[in-house]
Amino acid sequence: MQIDFASSGGFANLQLAFRGDTETMPENQAQELERLVESSGVFEVQQDDFNTNAAIGRADVISYRLTLSDGPRRTTLWMNDVNAPASVRPLLSSLRKLAIEQKKSG
Which residues lie near another protein (CB under 8 A)? Answer: 8-15, 41, 44-46, 48-49, 51, 53-62, 81-86, 89-90, 93, 96-97, 100, 103-104, 106
User: How many whole angstroms separate alpha carbon 75 and alpha carbon 1?
Assistant: 11
Nearest approach, Cβ of residue 35 and another protein (Å): 15
Do 90 and 104 contact (CB within 8 A), yes or no?
A: no
Which residues face 2 on adjacent strands? 21, 69
Decide whether 12 or 28 has the Cβ nearer to another protein. 12
User: How many other β-carbons are positioned within 10 Å of the β-carbon of residue 22?
Assistant: 18
Nearest approach, Cβ of residue 85 and another protein (Å): 8
Decide whether 21 or 82 has the Cβ nearer to another protein. 82
74, 78, 79, 80: CA torsion to nearest 10: 140
Decide whether 4 or 10 has the Cβ nearer to another protein. 10
